[in-house]
């Protein structure tokens, strides 16, 4: 499925290339971070519209894709430090890294901070993720779009702190600085937080709802587009709401004001802990969070809810979930998907529901990724 999607996107993209657009980034075509900087943004939206409509082949369609700021939108960027280079992996290759001096899709403050840090990081021993030797694996930059707060996290393969001078240099530039230890073989930019300088979190705000973002926690990468989607979700919820794959509680807490109650279910303990802290931060008395596998919860406890919110990982839902949802789920499902192909597959299994509305949002400009939001009502 992944290869088919990539082939389809490349085929569609070729129709729009050559429209006179000059990429803003000198690393374009070598760096794997962007694919579409040589296509005008309005044509990127058309490309994604055609991709979605072709994927669903007439069963569903969108008239347009809700746009984003095309550049300087990303809340998070993980810069790999390997083979004497600092930047992003080359397009189509895991073995090579492109030296990136500046990144056009990073937000402005974190991009400036990265440019300041980069020559200092060049003096630190990097990590060879093929031989699994070395020290500094990643420098992770995060910026909350609406508050402007910034975080830098250094992912290291040993517990010793070789970054004291660098941390001292940027202590006035970042609200949160962290050292994350990860000596595993998997190529990951998260792990055990072994030290923090300043706060160990930053805060984002969506329409007055505050969220604390910790070094390992997931948060949407494009805050303005996520806010658009959350507002739409809040318009569609009713009564008692169940939010599966609830993460740090961002959707649960945002929709709580339009619901009788909200229950978030998440399997990652740190995410549940953050969700409970965010609930207290906002004084949201009608929200609760449960640490449990989503499939187990659906099997045992899904009855009694009026609205089900789904925001699963890119792989979609486990096939065993679909018959359980058909049997036990409430009258309405609001399904937010970061992968239209797996949503299409899940939708085929939700045969007790019909689609009331279907929209697309450009969460990741300059890339092939596109998000969808569907409202499904049970067939009477």
Q: Quick count: other Cβ atoms within 10 Å of Cβ 351? A: 11
CA-angle at 111, arms to 107 and 113, nearest 5°? 125
Do 361 and 226 meet the contact criterion of CB atoms below 8 Å apart? no
Taking the C-alpha atoms of residue 119 and residue 113, their distance in angstroms, rounded to an integer, is 11
Pairing of strands 371-378, 332-337: antiparallel
Task: Round to whole Å and give the CA distance between 77 and 96.
Answer: 18
Q: At 47, is the secondary structure helix, strand, or coil?
A: helix
Whether 103 sits among the annotated catalytic residues: the reply is no
**Separation CA 183–CA 135 (nearest Å):** 9
Q: Are 81 and 124 in contact (CB under 8 A)?
A: yes
The H-or-E segment that residue 279 falls in is helix 269-282
The residues with which 156 forms a beta bridge, in sequence order, are: 136, 181
For 142, 240, 367, the CA distances from 373, given in Å and listed in that order, are 25, 20, 19
Q: Is 373 helix (H, G, I), strand (E, B) or coil?
A: strand
- Tell me how far CA of residue 33 lies from CA of 39, 74, 84, 321, 336, in angstroms: 15, 11, 19, 33, 24
* Chain CA centroid to CA 132, Å: 27
Euclidean distance between CA atoms 310 and 354, whole angstroms:
15
Catalytic residue among 29, 81, 338, 359: 338
Judged by DSSP in three states, 270 sits in helix
Find out whether 163 and 179 touch, Cβ atoms under 8 Å. yes
Residue 66 has φ and ψ, to the nearest 5°, of -60, 125
Question: Would you state the structure tokens that stand for residue 319, as one six-digit string?
Answer: 């096939």
Q: Any catalytic annotation for residue 371?
A: yes
What residue spans of 28-71 are helical by DSSP H?
A: 41-56
Selecting among 149, 204, 266, 371, the annotated active-site residue is 371
Catalytic residues: 338, 371
């Amino acid at each position: 499925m992944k290869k088919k999607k990539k082939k389809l996107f490349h085929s569609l993209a070729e129709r729009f290339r050559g429209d006179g657009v000059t990429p803003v980034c000198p690393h374009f075509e070598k760096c794997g971070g962007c694919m579409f900087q040589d296509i005008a943004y309005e044509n990127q939206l058309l490309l994604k519209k055609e991709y979605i409509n072709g994927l669903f082949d007439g069963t569903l369609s969108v008239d347009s894709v809700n746009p984003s700021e095309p550049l300087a939108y990303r809340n998070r960027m993980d810069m790999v430090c390997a083979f004497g280079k600092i930047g992003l992996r080359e397009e189509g290759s895991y073995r090579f890294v492109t030296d990136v001096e500046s990144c056009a899709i990073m937000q402005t403050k974190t991009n400036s901070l990265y440019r300041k840090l980069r020559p200092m990081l060049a003096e630190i021993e990097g990590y060879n993720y093929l031989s699994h030797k070395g020290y500094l694996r990643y420098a992770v930059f995060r910026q909350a779009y609406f508050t402007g707060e910034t975080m830098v996290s250094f992912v290291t393969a040993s517990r010793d702190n070789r970054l004291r001078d660098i941390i001292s240099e940027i202590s006035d530039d970042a609200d949160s600085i962290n050292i994350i230890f990860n000596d595993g073989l998997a190529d990951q930019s998260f792990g055990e937080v072994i030290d923090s300088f300043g706060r160990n979190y930053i805060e984002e705000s969506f329409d007055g709802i505050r969220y604390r973002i910790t070094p390992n926690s997931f948060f949407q990468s494009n805050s303005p587009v996520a806010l658009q989607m959350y507002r739409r979700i809040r318009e569609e919820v009713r009564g008692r709401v169940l939010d599966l794959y609830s993460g740090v509680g961002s959707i649960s807490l945002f929709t709580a004001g339009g619901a009788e109650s909200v229950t978030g279910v998440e399997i990652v303990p740190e995410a549940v802990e953050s969700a409970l802290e965010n609930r207290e931060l906002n004084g949201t008395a009608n929200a609760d969070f449960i640490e449990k596998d989503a499939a187990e919860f659906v099997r045992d406890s899904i009855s009694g809810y009026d609205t089900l919110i789904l925001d699963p990982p890119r792989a979609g839902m486990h096939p065993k979930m679909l018959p359980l949802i058909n049997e036990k789920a409430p009258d309405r499902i609001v399904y937010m998907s970061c992968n239209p192909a797996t949503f299409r597959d899940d939708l085929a299994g939700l045969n007790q529901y019909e689609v009331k509305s279907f929209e697309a949002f450009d969460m990741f400009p300059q890339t092939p990724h596109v998000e969808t939001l569907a409202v499904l009502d049970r067939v009477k």
